[in-house]
Amino acid sequence: MAHTGRTAGRLGEGDWDGKVSEIKKKIKSILPGRSCDLLQDTSHLPPEHSDVVIVGGGVLGLSVAYWLKKLESRRGAIRVLVVERDHTYSQASTGLSVGGICQQFSLPENIQLSLFSASFLRNINEYLAVVDAPPLDLRFSPSGYLLLASEKDAAAMESNVKVQRQVGAKISLMSPDQLRNKFPWINTEGVALASYGMEDEGWFDPWCLLQGLRRKVQSLGVLFCQGEVTRFVSSSQRMLTTDDKAVVLKRIHKVHVKMDCSLEYQPVECAIVVNAAGAWSAQIAALAGIGEGPPGTLQGTKLPVEPRKRYVYVWHCPQGPGLETPLVADTSGAYFRREGLGSNYLGGRSPTEQEEPDPANLEVDHDFFQDKVWPHLALRIPAFETLKVQSAWASYYDYNTFDQNGVVGPHPLVANMYFATGFSGHGLQQAPGVGRAVAEMILKGRFQTIDLSPFLFTRFYLGEKIQENNII
Amino acid sequence: MWDLVLEDRRINSLRLVAPMWNGRIRGIHRLGGAVAPEGNQKKKRTILQLLTNYFYDVEALRDYLLQREMYKVHEKNRSFTWLEKQHGPYGAGAFFILKQGGAVKFRDKEWIRPDKYGHFSQEFWNFCVVPVEAVDASDCDINYEGLDNLLLLKELQSLSLQRCSHVDDWCLSRLYPLADSLQELSLAGCPRVSERGLACLHHLRNLRRLDISDLPAVSNPGLTQILVEEMLPNCEVVGVDWAEGLKSGPEEQPQDTASPVPA
């Protein structure tokens, strides 16, 4: 009768030694100095709870995150998570942008937004100061925008400039003679009037702004996650309006964030979702159920933002316009500006509706430059008859097919989805102002500094277009 | 008094917050990090900088000190336009310059300078009907907002902004209202002025003398000099030597050694 035999039999299990070694391994892993295998490593996943989830980590998303943290009532009051699908920003409109900022719009709201953004960029090292980090160098060129108008557009330009001056922008109007005097390299044939921005206009490095915002926002405690939003879990409530019509109000409770290159996802419980996904905002809106309904109703109104491809070409012209060249936008829609000190220029032109390229990829069509851009440039600037294209790239506009102006504010039915998208090519220059407006809307419930109520989603259902005449 | 040695730098109790008081130029940059050229070569850190990596409180304290530095500059550049009603635009502008530590010269009068305590003779209030001809704002803390006050001096002929650490490209874009009268402008030694700001000077068509020497932020001084000379044909542009690319002193950034090629 051996003791070992009896104890083995009483426990009734075979592998006692195996169990002991497993328990020993678990205890060893808890001891300091060893990696703990008890809990799974979830450090790559986003947190399980967040007050605000911002879909899209471009300049608009980061601007909203920054202003949310800046305007919160108490330090650490709001937890913000920014979900960005591509941390290299390879297709994001921000990094590929030409980087211009101008106040020459026809809508007062657009002018106010650009003016505020100019003052934000001017004081960027006070807004985005991080202890022990070097100050940001935006490489801003304050050379201004020069818009040329033909006979038929001259009256509209004059009234636009009147509005711009009223709001506070410094724009000067020039006749063809004054234009020739100031910029002798322009051919003023067909130009009736020109408007020239004297201050707060020019171009800067958008990548620097993006990195500065990222750095500051991380230091303020905003969490970043690289992943894709695949699903919204929401609850609906059926309510009756005062006219006894049934309305279904939705509230998003969870956001499913799928990790890169894997099927793993994390449901993030949130209170508010901000749609700042740029050219892909319509997909995010569709996930939330916006636009699922009979057309012509509020439920059936989709978010009319789609990606549109735009080309930018860089060329070298040794006898081209000098250092004082502003960003010139021709009567035909072609535009160009100087790049650096070495007689390089970059520019492009917005295609007409029929010429719209396919936005499936970012391939560049060089024939577009030969046929549609160069002739207009060479007509306006005779020196550009001899030039050599060095390179080109393409990027997306988050194009609002309704009226080419941004969508800001909450959705009327999906109560906690806020939009900050659809700016059709001027999102970068209006990002600081729009970020502040959306943060005010979220935190205070209304727009306080700049009133962007004409930019709400409801205008798509009501059919109230706010047309902007000066789109480059 | 006892000394602490930290990374081969002697620190005494006064030096804990020294970077802030060590002169205006380095104040913000030292707190902000690695911009001052000498800071790049030697990675010296103060105790506060070291502790910032360990304590949120110290980080918040340094943030507050940084904000206070910036606030001081804003205070200096507050608006003096309310003086315009009583003393006219020339008086208001001149008072602003004198308060900053610069010097003004009214037409047909002598230069008025504050002494080392910042006091200046009050009789300049009597000169206020006469336009100000020249302003020497070297080493002052004028920034974009302060230019509101400077631009009151409509008939200014000579302006010197040498070594002004807060004058940057944005400020240069604001000088166009002085285009009718300004004949002489000096920007020597301004650390934030780059060739992009110099591009805005084409509005100043009466400019006869422009000094752009010693601008560390300009990427290619030789080429910039040529382009500025082309831009302002009637102006004598001073400051950059053709041999600029071949010299390299301890304060200058590494230059391109290629000689300037005619455009």
Confidence of residue B247 (pLDDT cuts 50, 70, 90): low
CATH 3.80.10.10 fits B75-115+122-238, yes or no: yes
Q: Residues B112-135: what's their mean pLDDT?
A: 86
Give the helix/strand (H/E) hosting A324: none
Confidence of residue B10 (pLDDT cuts 50, 70, 90): very low
**Domain boundaries, given as residue ranges, for chain A:** 44-136+204-304+401-471, 145-197, 309-397
Q: Residues A229-255: what's their mean pLDDT?
A: 92
The CATH number, out of the four listed (3.50.50.60, 3.30.70.100, 3.30.450.20, 3.40.190.10), of the domain defined by the range A44-136+204-304+401-471: 3.50.50.60
Q: Residues B239-259: what's their mean pLDDT?
A: 56
pLDDT of residue B25: 38
pLDDT of residue B122: 81
User: What pLDDT digit, counting tens, does each position of A411-431 carry?
Assistant: 999 999 999 999 999 999 999
Q: Across all residues in chain A, what is the average pLDDT?
A: 91
pLDDT of residue A1: 43
pLDDT of residue A107: 93
Q: Note whether A318 contacts B: Cβ–Cβ < 8 A.
A: yes
Confidence of residue B12 (pLDDT cuts 50, 70, 90): very low
pLDDT of residue A33: 77
User: What pLDDT digit, counting tens, does each position of B65-95 carry?
Assistant: 988 999 999 999 999 888 888 888 898 999 9
Among the listed ranges A2-6, A197-201, B215-219, which one has the minimum average pLDDT value? A2-6
Confidence of residue B258 (pLDDT cuts 50, 70, 90): very low
ipTM reported for the complex, 2 dp: 0.83
Q: Residues A120-125: what's their mean pLDDT?
A: 94
CB contact under 8 A, A143 and B196: yes
CATH 1.20.1530.20 fits A309-397, yes or no: no
Interface test with A, best of B26, B47, B49, B173 (most A CBs within 10 A): B173
Query: What are the structure tokens assigned to A266, written together?
Result: 């994390």
pLDDT of residue B48: 85
Sign of the CA dihedral running B150, A202, A207, A432: positive
CB A274 within 8 A of CB A267: no
pLDDT of residue B248: 58
For A:103-142, CB contacts with B below 8 A are 122, 125-126, 129, 131-135, 139-142
- Compare CB distances from B59 to A131, A142, A323 and report the shortest one's residue: A131
Assess whether pLDDT exceeds 90 at residue B32.
Answer: no
pLDDT of residue A472: 58
A323 contact partners, CB below 8 Å, separation of at least 6: A338, A341, B195, B198, B199, B202, B227, B228, B230, B231
pLDDT of residue B15: 38
**Domain boundaries, given as residue ranges, for chain B:** 75-115+122-238
Q: What angle do CA A55, A58, A59 make, to 5 degrees?
A: 120
The DSSP bridge partners found for residue A196 are A146, A172
Assess whether pLDDT exceeds 50 at residue A55.
Answer: yes
pLDDT of residue A337: 95
Chain A residue at shortest CA distance from B49? A132
Query: What are the structure tokens assigned to A245, written together?
Result: 């019509």
CB A31 within 8 A of CB A58: no
Tell which wins on pLDDT, A15 or B260: A15
Whole-angstrom distance, CA of residue B156 vs CA of residue B183: 8
Interface test with B, best of A75, A216, A325, A341 (most B CBs within 10 A): A341
CB B207 within 8 A of CB B172: no
pLDDT above 70 as % of chain A: 96
Q: Residues B24-46: what's their mean pLDDT?
A: 46
pLDDT of residue A13: 58
pLDDT of residue B46: 84
DSSP string, B39-103: HHHS----HHHHHHTT-HHHHHHHHHHHHHHHHHHHHHT---TTHHHHHHHHHHHHHHHHHHT-E
